[in-house]
Every structure is written in structure tokens, then in C-alpha cells.
Structure 1
Amino acid sequence: MMRKLQFLLFVFLLCGLGSSLAQERLINKGNEKYEEYSFSPAIDIYKKIIDKGYVSAEILKKLGNSYYYNADYKDAAETYRRLVTDYASDASPEDCFKYAQTLKSLGDYEGSNLVMAKFVELTSNDVRAQSYKNERDYLKEIKENSGRYDIKSFEYNSPYSDFAPSYYKEGLIFSSDRDTGNFARYRHTWNAKDFLDLYKVNSDSTSINEVIKIGENVNTRLHESTSVTTKDGQTLYFTRNNFIDGDYIKDEKGIIRLKIFRAQMVDGVWSEIEELPFNNNAYSVAHPSLSPDEKTLYFASDMPGTLGESDLFMVTINDDGTFGTPQNLGPNINTEARETFPFMTNEEILYFSSDGHPGLGGLDVFATKTKRQDFTGKVLNVGEPVNGKNDDFTFIFKEEDKTGYFASDREGGLGADDIYGFVEKEPLVFDCIQKVTGTVRDKISNEVLVGATVKVIDENNNEIMTTITDSDGNYSLQLDCNKGNFVRALMDGYIPFEEYIGESDGKPKIIDFYLERDTITAGFGDDLAKLLQLSTIYFDFDKYNIRKDSEIEIEKVIAAMEKYPSLKLKVNSHTDSRGPAAYNLWLSQKRAESTINYMISKGIASNRLESEGYGETKLINECADGVKCSSEKHDLNRRSEFIILE
């Protein structure tokens, strides 16, 4: 009996060992397919493993990614949910980000925000986390950009995958797997779909209202996809698998990478096909687009220096057809996720697709203004109906007639991916314009400064614009509120003054400048009141105390004396001829004394001040005793002077 039990136990152990080995072989096979980017068979294998009751964080992660990269967001979301719920300690920030993206693609924005909050907790310097924190109300911004396009289905779509439209002569070139001509002998293991070829429609007399392949020299038994042609139609840049001289080349992981090739039109045939020199067998280079002057090529790649899964780059095309060194477009454009499918318009607006910038789900189309290859401007989501819950990509646009095309795998299409045409009804607003107005004045006299210069200086000390104050001392500026600037006021004889304006919400702003004189160009005996253009200092009838309205003018004199410590003044006070002369003399002296006493009370040293009353002895017009004058003329004689002594 004991031997029988031992034998049965040995058999059970053998069976368990055999089952374990089989399971391990299956996992290894699934991982091998995953590492080869053969996601379709990897999904089948991982599902079998899970159905047999074996689940781990690694398997869920790879299964979720396989669904994600095939745009199966429903199954991806369920798989990521199990990962972050049942294996929370093993879930990475990237797993949380992809989970949030899948939830958005399913329309669960509230759930997506909760997962994104977890993503932000797990990471610190991630561009996507910063963007999320800075744009928590991103759905409101997307809604504001929405409704700008009327879209319709492309009449040449098929039940297969059609995408990557590009302008070619009067028609289009696009990519499709509608007819590989090989009865699916070569099927791509990423998504179990046929390989893609390039087609053209309405580009010449042979393709009017008919979709035809563009030429056997370009199309191979592997992928050809995104393309762009020069305006003269003589040069074609296109994406192809790493396929040279009839054979494909794999990297060390067994992956066939993407490369950009260039072809020339010779006697009506695309020929002289060459791969670009910055291609590499170790990484992908894809999705070409040309600048308006055709001197710069934009593309997507995961080459060294990439910030995320794929970034956008640019490279100079030299006059002799050679190329410069590729440059990353930087962290304002690129994130740790996918940026791909660039397109540059004639007005230098860069459109691209991304799942790293805040969007509606999957890949969304974004746009940014890039004058003079400046990629620091605001990146805008173009909104619905171009963007939706699914992948939206390969956006192209002509500003001349406001028409364009893009592709999407949205519901309701004819095939897996479909091309859509659109008309732009209202352009995107890229520039956040802030109106800044104000007045430039003399700090002491408060008089407006006509013809003062007001300059705008950026944070790199470059002069952006300049204007001159008008006859009322006013100026007006239109600033980019997405950038910080210095507004500087200058005037001959005055010390320049500036104020910094940071990024803002675009609300109008008023900045008044009060400039100080660099020197007082006056000498002994000059009246400082005239130099400062002071208003008349009034006293109440038959009184000599300082009135409130006169305090304002005297404060300007005090400011000048504080500014110039060596300045000494004599306050002369005058009356008109009305009243007895002796009384007027006394009253004017009391008013002069009252003025300097006020100044002393404000901190001016008494040894810097003198006073004298002249009564009606120094009239400045004909209004003497016995002369009939208007009240206005008499007022001219009732004055105070601040005579410079030193």
C-alpha cells in the first residue's frame, strides 16, 4: 500500500512538473511574440495562459499593452484594471497612464481623471503629469476648440484599412491594405492584418475616380504607408519597412523597423529609390512631412534622444539633396508617450497626433504655431468632430481653401481605419493676445509725456515691438500672453523704467509709467514750479492754510527735493491787487511761510528753504488797482513760485 501511494505521488509530481514546464514554454512563446511586436499572436497566447488559471502582473501588463497598441481599448481597459487593482504594487506609472487613456477612449472621463491623479502621484518630472496638473479643465478647452470642422467620409474608403492621405498633384496618395495581390500570404503579426501599399486617386488622367497603386518600385510585400511629395511632383518621401534589395532586415530583437525612403519621378515612373542616411536598423524613422519651402523634413522616430515612445524630429535638406543632423522638436511638443504623424502647413502650423497631450482618448490631433521653427507655442487639441474617443491621425490641411483630410478608426466607418474629408469653418486661435494700455507721465509733475517710447522686450532681451505715446501720453500694445515680456518706457532726460508681464489669461491690463528725470536742467533763479508744470497753488479767500488740492502740487516739489538732496528753494507768494496793499503783503508772507512749514513737516530740512511774500508788488499783467479785470485775469497774479537758490 505504501509503495502504491509513493508511486501515485511520483506520478502527480511528474504531471505537475510537466504542466509547469508547458506553462513556462507558453509564457516564453508569448513573450517572444510580444518582444517582436507580434501583438496579435501574443494576445492569443496570453489569453490561453490566463484561461488556464495562471495570472501575473507581467502577463497582464503585456496583454494590456498588446490590446492598447491594436486600439482594442475595451479589452485593454479591463486588463489594466485587473493589473492596477490586483497587482497595485507592481503597476508602473506608465500602466496607469495607459489605463487612463483607455478609459477616455471608452468615454469614462471621470474614471480617467481618477487614474490620472494616481499617475501624477507616482511620477514627478513627467511632461504628461505636469500638463495634466496645469490643464485640469482640459475638456473645457477642447470643447471651446470643437465644432470648427464639417467632416464627411472619403468616397474611396474600403472595408479594409485606409489612412495616411497626402496631397499629390490634384489628388491624393494614401495607404491601404485593401489589395495586397498575394491572397494574404504575407500577414503582419502586429494586428493580423494584410500589409499596406500606397495608392493614388485623381492625381492624373489614369486615376480619375479610380484608386490604383502608385508603382511596383515603391510597393513591396511589406508595409508602405505615410508619404509626402514635393510641390513639383518629382520627389516622393515615404515610409516602408526595412526592406532592401528584395529582402527584409530585422534588428537584434527580430523586429523589422520602419524607414523613410526617397524616390524620384523619372519618365513617369518612381525610381532611384534610396533610404535616407539617418535611418537605422536599430530604431524606426517614419511619417515624413515637408516644410513650406521644402528645406526641412519633419518625421517621427524612437531614435536615441527620444523623450517617449516616439517623438517628432526635423532635419535640414541641403541644396545638394543631402541632409543635416536630426533635431528633436523638444518637450513642448514631445511627451513620454507617442507623438507621431506630423504635417506642416503653408502658414507653418504643425499638426500632429499624440496620446501624451490631454485629449479625448487614443491618438488625438493637435496643432501648434511654429513661425521660424519656434516650437514653444501653445499646443491645442483641435477638438471634435476631428477628435473623438478612438484614434484620430494623419491630419493634412490646405489653408488656401480651408479643406483637408484625416484618418480615424471611429465607429461607423467602412473599414478598420477610414479617411475623412473636412472643411474648416473657423480657424483655431493659437495666439493668446493681451491688450496692454497705459499712460507715461513725469513722476514729479504728473504731466503726461508725449512722444515717450514704449518697448516690449522678451525674456531673452530681444526687442519684440515698440510704440510712441500719443498727444495724451497714452500707448497701446498687443502682447502674446503665453510668454513673459518686459514693457519698458523711455524718454530723453528721464530714467527708463520697466515692468514684467508674465503668462496670463489674456485679460486687458493697464500699466501707467511714472518716469523720474535723470537731472533737473535748471539754474539759479529758475522757477521749479514752471519746470515741473505745477498747477496753481490756491488758498481760500483771506486764509493762508494749505488746501487739500494744493497739497498735491506741493508734494511734487517735495518729491523733487527728495530726489535731488542739494536742491535749495525760496518760496515766493503773490496776491492780486484786490484788497489793501499792506494786507496783501502780510497775507502773501503768511502763505509763503505756511508753504515751507508744510514742506518741513514732510521731512524737508529748514535750511534748504526760504520764503518771502510780495503781495501785489509783482503783478504779471495789467490788473493793478483801478483797472477793471476779469476774475480769471486776477487769478493769474495769485501765484506761488519755487525759486531755485542752489
Structure 2
Amino acid sequence: MKTRSFLQIMLFGFASFPILAFSQEQPGLKQKGDQFYNQYNYSKAVVLYEQIAKNKKNDKQSVARLADSYRLMNNYDAAEKWYEQLYQSRQLKNSEVLNYAEVLRNVGKFDQAKSVLREYEQTYGTSPTVKAMIKGCDSAMIWMQTPSLIKVKNEGFLNTDRSEWGAFSFNDKVLYTAERIGKKDATYGWTGQPYLGLYEADATLRLTQSELETKFNNTEYHSGPVVFSSKGDTAYVTRTFVGEKAAKEKVKNKINLIRRLELWYTVKKDGAWGELIPFHYNNAQQYSTGHAALSKDGNILYFVSDMPGSTGKSDIWFCIKDQSGEWSKPVNCGAEINTLEEELFLTIGKKGELYFSSNGLAGMGGLDIYKAIGQKENWSSVVNMHYPVNSMVDDFMFTASTDTTGFFSSNRKEGKGGDDIYVYTIVIPPPPPAPKPEPVIVVEEPKEGNALHVFVINKQTGLPVANATLNLMNNKGKEKVVVETDGTGLFSFALSDEPIYEVKAEKNGFLSDHKNGIKNKTIQKAGAKVVLQLDSIILNKAIKLDNIYYDSGKWNLRAKSKTELNKLIEILKENPTIKIELSSHTDSRGSDQSNLILSQKRAKSAVDYIISKGIAKSRIIAKGYGETKLLNKCTNGVKCSDKDHQVNRRTEFAILSF
């Protein structure tokens, strides 16, 4: 359904809008296609390249440009088809290989994308972008298996078969950006769709006429998105440069006019919006500015630009309002938040957090939404919003209406049009259940000495375990008595004169429990009661072993680790029929492959020690999972404390059979 998006307003050259140049001679089919391609008129270029590709399949350049045009139009299925053809015949350039890998991510083929990227690294070397893409493939698969506690749904009233995006609540209204209604004659050559404008809906999401619509949509090019100050008296809008002195670009002896983006603002006085005023730092001849966001107090203006000093293709910048109300010289927000690729679509959350989209950090594919904590050039945390807010394609403009609800935009396949507006709701998890009280076991005290009362309960539920087998032995291993508990989990033994006894409880489906050192002398005075707890066996359930430590990068067992493994050895000896898997896990730091190898060596080291203590080799399997089973958010590309990473560094065992 979805084949077009207007996210390219800011991508691939950061919002270049050419006016078609004319050749002096009548070009052929390929020349026309190349002309449209060089002028970013991809919607027309694909029509011609399709004809060439069908008739001249050996025209590698035309097929590559056909694939690239579909990619830039967000028709990922069509792009994959043509990239695949060139990749299999080894005809892709290095940059085209990366584009192919990104398209594979966009269609959800993460393993295949990762394989292409690994091959790229071997052939061309690596880079921060390639590393982020590889980490993103791993993260995406994990995030989709463990979605965050956020519900999302398509906003059915505002969305159409066109593009609608960037919705936010303002004064009981919903404002958003959309392909213009009734502007059929004004189309954007990149996608072949109408230019963008600003629209307003009331609380019931019915379209209403706004004064801002008239003011902002009075241009034949793009307008949107818009942001308001917290007081609602100032609005900043992103618009295409409309002046006569557009920047120029020379492509194969032809001149294209480049219409970059600018920020404009208007101030409300006496209930009416004033004239549009250009942002002081606009310079459409040299760079773009747009996608503004204001701090809660209105004294910091964040925006996106590719101005000199940018780290990547577009960075997040900020200005500070001085005492006179003027904006200071722009300052880059820094490498903690900006990448070599694009950072776009800024919004400020209810608590002052910054939301933005990026395709330069580890993500699921296309643009992912991130949350950043901090301000100006100081940022302590940048976190991916995870699935289902993020998807394999472009996700952007995360706007909070309340602490738990709001909007975001996406061009995912299940939408109605090119870009769609989605509603999100953060699910508040219920409070954890109150801890179960320790079972209170009332056993009638013996009236005479030499009686031992044994009560067997379920460790998880505290309920009695009937028909459990009890083994009573003296300390010499003799005088063994085997009985079963009654319906209340109880059995009482009459003891002889042996000084010390041991009792053990067993039942199929449970791990056994025992009590040593029961002294007959004490029992003779007042009798005794013993409670044994049987732990239910749950197959394949991971049980953590505490205090298993290794030196960094090593797999040799420390002395303290052996102490903990000795406890597991006792369990195996007491339960001679169970078979287990012992697994080792790392955190996400380091490469995936090295972590996998290290964890396998650590698991084998622990298993070898257990076998050396008399446990049959057939009863235990060593398995290293590396970073594939993380317990928290600290996956590739996510900044975490060492304490958070420590949660993922663990040794576990799971019972496979009994």
C-alpha cells in the first residue's frame, strides 16, 4: 500500500528542491531518465528506468538508479527487487551496497541485511554508520520479540490515502502537516504528490479552518511542521525558501535551483497573528534550517541544520534567548546526540526531554525515534524508543499530549497513505504482587520423646505435598526407613537410640530437599519438627547462579565461583535423574561474535569443573549465548551504566529433563 513519503523533505541533501532545467536537444529515453534523476524528480525517473531495465537488463547504471529512486520514494519492495539483481551479479558500488542493506532492513530482512553488511566490512572496511546498522539488526530482532509497554494505533479520522504527519495537541485543537487538499496542480517531483501544508482539527478530529493555515500555506512549496511557545503566543514554522535567489547546482552541464528549508516565526498580538518573520540565522544559499523545538521556558530554541560545523548530514543545534529577546549564535548540540547521518523532527516532552529521529544511531531501519535527557550541548542519555513505536521504516515526530498519551508519525505498511499519524498510549504496569507470607505450619508437639515430625511443603506455594517419599537414615547410613507423607504432607518417625539422623524428601517433578544433623538427644527432651521444601521443576526455566565471576576477557574460574558451582553439584547429586544446560551470558559491549565465543568458553569452563567432581558428562550441556538474551534495555547502541550491564553478565542453569 505505502510507496511514498515526504520524509525526504529533510533527507539526502537536506531538503533540496530543484526546478527542472531544459536541454537544448531532444534527449533519448536514458537521457530523460538521467535528467529526471539528477533533478530529484524520482517519480518520473522510475517510469523511464523501468522501460530501460526491461529491455536492456545489462544497463547497470539505469538499474542502479531505478533501485535508488524507488528507495528514495520509500517503495522498499521495488527497490529490493532491483538491488538484489545487481547484488547477485556483483555490480553494486560500495555506497549502493549500504543502500541495499538499508532496504533489506526496511522490509524486515535483518539477518540478510547483517550478512550484506558483514561482507561490506570485509571488502571496504567498517565505519560508525556500518557498525550502527549491524547493531541495529540485532537490536530490532530483540525489540520485536519483547515489545515495550506502549500501545499504538493508526489515527483513523485524520489519515487518508495521502500523507499526514506531525500531529500535536494545542489549545483543544490538533494541528498537523499534510499533503495539501485541492492543490492538484502543485506537485513535488520527488514523489509526484502535492506539496505539504498545515492543517487543524477540533477535539473531535474534524477539519476546521485556521488563521495559521491561511498564513503558512500561502506558498506553492512546503510548509510544516510548526511549533508553538508554551504560552501559545509565538509559532515557528519550517518552510521551503521561496525567494528568487535560490542556490544553484550544476549537474552534467545543467543548472538546478536548490530550494532549501528555512525557519520563520510569527507572534500573536491582541488575539491576531502578525507577519511572518525570517529566523535570523537562515541562509538558504548555503544551508537549511528547520524542525524547531522550544524548551519549556521558551529560552532555548533547538532546530535542525546542515550549517557549517555540522557533524553529519543534518545536526541538532540550539540558540539561547538573551535579555533583549534575541537569539544567540547557534551552538551544535554535540557528538553525544549528533551522528554522521541525519537527526530530524525535534519535539520537547512534558518533562523537558528532547525527542528526535535519526538514521545514524543503532535502530530498526530508516528513521527511529529517540529520547534524549539533558539540554544544550550536555546530554546524559539517548535512548531508542523501541518497538512498536519504532519500526523497520521511518518513524518520527513523537509529540506528548499527556504524560502517557500522544502522537507520532510513520510510513509503515499497515497505514492508509504515504505517512500516517499514530496515537500512542504508555501502559502503566500493575504494581508487583505483595510477597507471599512464609507458610505457617502448625504441627502438634509430640507428647513423648523419640518422635520426629517431618512436614513437606511446596516451596513456591507453601501448600502441603502429599505422597512425598521420605528417607530417614542415621549418620552411619544405616537403619534406612522409606515412607510417604499423608494428605497433609506429614509423617512422624519413632526414632531408636542412634545419636544423629538425616531425612530427605523426594517426589517426581520436584527437586529434593534434606535436613542433616538431627540430634536424637534433643528430640528425646521435647520431640522435634522438620519442614522440608520441594521446589517444582519447570523445564527450560533459567535459574541464575550467583557469585560466578571471571576476569575481564577470561574464562578461568575464580575460587568464589567454584563455591557457588559446588551448590549446583550438590543439587545434581541429590537429583541423579535430571539433565541440565549451563549457560553463560555477556553484556552487549564488544562485538557480537567475540561475546559469543567468550561466553561459550566460560560455560565450558564451568561444566568441566562440574564433571571433574563426578557428575556424568551426559547430564550437562555447556552453552554460550553471548549477548543474545539480554535482560534489560542495554542492547547495542544504548548507553548504560556498568551496573545495568552487570545484570546481563550472568551464569544460569536450566533443567532439560528429569
Q: In the aligned structure 2, how far is the partner of 1:327 from the partner of 1:189?
A: 34
- 1:240–1:260 Cα contact (<8 Å) kept: yes
Q: For residues 50 and 243 of structure 1, do their structure 2 counterparts lie closer, same or farther at Cα, with a shift above 3 Å needed?
A: same
Which residue identity is paired with 1:186?
A: A
2:216 aligned residue = 218
Superposed CA deviations along residues 467-516 of structure 1, whole A, max 9, x for unmatched, are: xxxxxxxxxxxxx999xxxxxxxxxxxxxxxxxx968614499xxxxxxx
Q: For residues 319 and 125 of structure 1, do their structure 2 counterparts lie closer, same or farther at Cα, with a shift above 3 Å needed?
A: farther
1:348 aligned residue = 352
- 1:239–1:287 Cα contact (<8 Å) kept: yes
Which residue identity is paired with 2:44?
A: P
Deviation of residue 393 (structure 1)? Answer: 1.4
Q: In the aligned structure 2, how far is the partner of 1:110 from the partner of 1:255?
A: 38
Q: Which runs of 5+ in 2 are unaligned?
A: 1-23, 250-255, 430-632, 636-640, 650-658
User: Is residue 233 from structure 1 mapped to residue 236 from structure 2 by the alignment?
Assistant: no
User: Is residue 51 from structure 1 mapped to residue 48 from structure 2 by the alignment?
Assistant: no
Q: In the aligned structure 2, how far is the partner of 1:173 from the partner of 1:273?
A: 18
Map 1:134-533 onto structure 2 (within 5 A): 137-139=138-140, 142-143=143-144, 146-154=147-155, 155-179=157-181, 181-182=182-183, 184-202=184-202, 209-213=206-210, 214-219=212-217, 220-244=219-243, 249-252=246-249, 253-281=256-284, 282-370=286-374, 373-377=377-381, 379-398=382-401, 400-426=402-428, 505-507=645-647
* Secondary structure of the corresponding residue to residue 74 of structure 1: helix
- 2:149–2:427 Cα contact (<8 Å) kept: yes
Q: For residues 413 and 138 of structure 1, do their structure 2 counterparts lie closer, same or farther at Cα, with a shift above 3 Å needed?
A: closer
Q: For residues 211 and 124 of structure 1, do their structure 2 counterparts lie closer, same or farther at Cα, with a shift above 3 Å needed?
A: farther
Q: In the aligned structure 2, how far is the partner of 1:41 from the partner of 1:508?
A: 51
Q: In the aligned structure 2, how far is the partner of 1:194 from the partner of 1:371?
A: 36
Q: In the aligned structure 2, how far is the partner of 1:62 from the partner of 1:191?
A: 15
Which residue identity is paired with 2:238?
A: T
Q: In the aligned structure 1, how far is the partner of 2:75 from the partner of 2:205?
A: 36
Superposed CA deviations along residues 372-403 of structure 1, whole A, max 9, x for unmatched, are: 642353x33212222223322111124x5311
Q: Which runs of 5+ in 1 are unaligned?
A: 1-20, 428-479, 483-500, 510-646
Which residue identity is paired with 2:309?
A: G
Q: In the aligned structure 2, how far is the partner of 1:31 from the partner of 1:420?
A: 37
Q: In the aligned structure 2, how far is the partner of 1:321 from the partner of 1:65?
A: 45
Q: In the aligned structure 1, how far is the partner of 2:335 from the partner of 2:134?
A: 16
User: Is residue 74 from structure 1 mapped to residue 214 from structure 2 by the alignment?
Assistant: no
Q: In the aligned structure 2, how far is the partner of 1:248 from the partner of 1:65?
A: 30
- 1:342–1:352 Cα contact (<8 Å) kept: yes
- 2:139–2:364 Cα contact (<8 Å) kept: no
* Secondary structure of the corresponding residue to residue 367 of structure 1: strand
Q: In the aligned structure 1, how far is the partner of 2:192 from the partner of 2:634?
A: 49
Q: In the aligned structure 2, how far is the partner of 1:288 from the partner of 1:296?
A: 10
- 1:316–1:324 Cα contact (<8 Å) kept: yes
Which residue identity is paired with 1:387?
A: N
Map 1:61-140 onto structure 2 (within 5 A): 61-88=64-91, 91-92=93-94, 94-122=95-123, 124=125, 126-132=127-133, 137-139=138-140
Q: Please give the TM-score of this superposition, normalised by the length of structure 1.
A: 0.57
Q: In the aligned structure 2, how far is the partner of 1:296 from the partner of 1:145?
A: 36
Q: In the aligned structure 2, how far is the partner of 1:370 from the partner of 1:412?
A: 34
Moved more, 352-361 or 141-150: 141-150
Equivalent of residue 42 in structure 2, options 39, 44, 62 = 39
Q: For residues 266 and 150 of structure 1, do their structure 2 counterparts lie closer, same or farther at Cα, with a shift above 3 Å needed?
A: same
Superposed CA deviations along residues 601-625 of structure 1, whole A, max 9, x for unmatched, are: xxxxxxxxxxxxxxxxxxxxxxxxx
Q: In the aligned structure 1, how far is the partner of 2:353 from the partner of 2:126?
A: 28
**Identity of paired residues, percent?**
27
1:605 aligned residue = none
Q: In the aligned structure 1, how far is the partner of 2:384 from the partner of 2:45?
A: 33
Deviation of residue 348 (structure 1)? Answer: 3.3
* Secondary structure of the corresponding residue to residue 235 of structure 2: strand
Which residue identity is paired with 1:505?
A: H
Deviation of residue 24 (structure 1)? Answer: 6.9
Q: For residues 72 and 290 of structure 1, do their structure 2 counterparts lie closer, same or farther at Cα, with a shift above 3 Å needed?
A: same
Flag the structure with more relative contact order, 1 or 2, with Cα contacts below 8 A and sequence separation at least 6. 2
Q: In the aligned structure 2, how far is the partner of 1:372 from the partner of 1:32?
A: 43
**Matched positions, count:** 409
Deviation of residue 237 (structure 1)? Answer: 0.6
- 2:45–2:69 Cα contact (<8 Å) kept: yes
Which residue identity is paired with 1:403?
A: T
Q: For residues 350 and 67 of structure 1, do their structure 2 counterparts lie closer, same or farther at Cα, with a shift above 3 Å needed?
A: same
Q: In the aligned structure 2, how far is the partner of 1:360 from the partner of 1:136?
A: 6
Q: In the aligned structure 2, how far is the partner of 1:331 from the partner of 1:420?
A: 30
Deviation of residue 52 (structure 1)? Answer: 3.7
Superposed CA deviations along residues 323-356 of structure 1, whole A, max 9, x for unmatched, are: 2233333333333333211222242322222233
Superposed CA deviations along residues 131-190 of structure 1, whole A, max 9, x for unmatched, are: 3566773235534872321223323223321101234222221111151x34x1111101
Q: In the aligned structure 1, how far is the partner of 2:115 from the partner of 2:101?
A: 8
- 1:149–1:423 Cα contact (<8 Å) kept: yes
Deviation of residue 195 (structure 1)? Answer: 1.1
Q: For residues 24 and 185 of structure 1, do their structure 2 counterparts lie closer, same or farther at Cα, with a shift above 3 Å needed?
A: closer
* Secondary structure of the corresponding residue to residue 331 of structure 1: coil
Which residue identity is paired with 2:214?
A: E
Deviation of residue 364 (structure 1)? Answer: 2.0
Cα RMSD over matched residues? Answer: 3.3
Q: For residues 373 and 349 of structure 1, do their structure 2 counterparts lie closer, same or farther at Cα, with a shift above 3 Å needed?
A: farther
Superposed CA deviations along residues 38-91 of structure 1, whole A, max 9, x for unmatched, are: 221222233233334164454344333321221111111222223333344x51
* Secondary structure of the corresponding residue to residue 274 of structure 2: strand
Superposed CA deviations along residues 220-242 of structure 1, whole A, max 9, x for unmatched, are: 22111211001111111111111
Q: For residues 185 and 63 of structure 1, do their structure 2 counterparts lie closer, same or farther at Cα, with a shift above 3 Å needed?
A: same
Q: For residues 298 and 188 of structure 1, do their structure 2 counterparts lie closer, same or farther at Cα, with a shift above 3 Å needed?
A: same
Greater radius of gyration (CA): 1
* Secondary structure of the corresponding residue to residue 313 of structure 1: strand
Q: In the aligned structure 1, how far is the partner of 2:220 from the partner of 2:317?
A: 28
Q: For residues 100 and 125 of structure 1, do their structure 2 counterparts lie closer, same or farther at Cα, with a shift above 3 Å needed?
A: closer
Q: Please give the TM-score of this superposition, normalised by the length of structure 2.
A: 0.56
Deviation of residue 268 (structure 1)? Answer: 3.9
Which residue identity is paired with 2:344?
A: T
Q: In the aligned structure 1, how far is the partner of 2:126 from the partner of 2:315?
A: 17
